[in-house]
Amino acid sequence: MNRAPERIVKDCNSGRLIHHPDFPSRHIAPRHVDVWCPPAAAADSALRYPVIYMHDGQNLFDPAWSFIGVDWGVIEAMTGLMQTSGHPGAIVVGIWNSPQRWRDYMPAKPLYLPEGRELLAAFSEQAGGEPLSDGYLRFIVAELKPFIDATYPTLADRSSTFVMGSSMGALISLYALAEWPDLFGGAGCLSTHWPIGEQVLPEYFAISLPKPSIYKLYFDYGTEDLDRNYEDFQIQMDRFLQKMGYQRGRDWLTLKFRGAEHSERAWRARLQIPLAFLLGIESVWLDEARERHC
């Protein structure tokens, strides 16, 4: 399978951003992939970095690409953490979404259980077809990750590989950890869009997520617009995690942000917290979050 050519978009003191247009796949439609590398990656070939795979990649690095004109500020958040902590940072892989975003990101297996059949029919009618998420994850683990590990200075082991997203991107991040626990060491789930799966999704993850101790799970939600519908579902998920043995503040964190809406602007404002938690970076933001919520 031929790889799409790369194009350096930014190369400066804040690192290097490389754009891979129309990355091909046997499992899903081609899509753009962006890769940000910390500043030292180009200067020191001996350094290796953790990797965070993030969804809705066009909204991560550049406001000109974002559909609302505000990006997540991934570069600013990561370099800020690096400067304040001395941590070397991580490589961030941004996977652009497609016109079939809902189908790509909706966890598939829960909908094929007996209790999910009605939900499957409703989702398929609304989204224009059944979920494609198993193929999307297969693309990441069988095609994209091997390419990233062969091309960039990565730490390829499970404990150094994470997945993160918001809304539907949070659901597919959690699904990735449930389906591929040998490859991913943690998931960052911002403003998880629980209502689309009703009770089926939390109940499914309660039996499918890996056991605690070597994994990290981060959840959060706001209190405005779409996010105001998430708290009851998140409380249910938190109870399941407690029963599974996850320890809040150590290997699992759920945060509530009062006044925060469902938007890139809101996720940008708090991005340093999940980054620090997943990467094990000591951060004032993370310490304050733990004190407020744990």
pLDDT at position 189 over 60: yes
Is the model's pLDDT at 45 over the cut of 90?
Answer: no
Q: What is the mean pLDDT of residues 56-74?
A: 92
- Confidence (pTM): 0.95
Distance CA 2, CA 89 (A): 30
Average pLDDT, the chain: 93
E-strand stretches of the chain: 7-12, 15-23, 31-37, 51-54, 91-95, 161-166, 186-190, 216-222, 252-257
Q: Which residue has the higher pLDDT, 225 or 46?
A: 225
SS (H, E, C) 150-178: HHCCECCCHHHEEEEEECHHHHHHHHHHH
Mean pLDDT of 75-104: 96
Mean pLDDT, residues 123-127: 95
Please give the pLDDT value at position 239.
Answer: 96
pLDDT exceeds cutoff 60 at 294: no
Comparison of pLDDT for 98 and 45, the residue scoring more:
98
Supply the pLDDT for residue 5: 63
Q: Give the model's pLDDT for residue 21.
A: 95
Q: Mean pLDDT over residues 208-226, rounded?
A: 95
pLDDT at 13: 74
- Residue 165, CA atoms < 13 Å, CB-side half-sphere: 29
According to the model, what pLDDT value does residue 291 have? Answer: 67
CB 118 within 8 A of CB 132: no
State the fold for domain 7-293. Answer: Rossmann fold (3.40.50)
Q: Beginning with the edge strand found earlier in the chain, give each strand of the sheet holding 31-37 in spatial order.
A: 7-12, 15-23, 31-37, 91-95, 51-54, 161-166, 186-190, 216-222, 252-257
Look at residue 3 in the predicted model and tell me its pLDDT.
62
Which residues, other chains included, contact 182 with Cβ-Cβ below 8 Å and sequence gap of 6+?
Answer: 158
Look at 9-18, 96-105, 113-122, 264-273 and tell me which has the smallest mean pLDDT.
Answer: 9-18
Which has the higher per-residue pLDDT, 106 or 9?
106
Query: 68 or 61: whose pLDDT is higher?
Result: 61
Instruction: Quote the percentage of the chain above a pLDDT of 90.
Output: 83
Per-residue pLDDT band for 46 (boundaries 50, 70, 90) equals confident
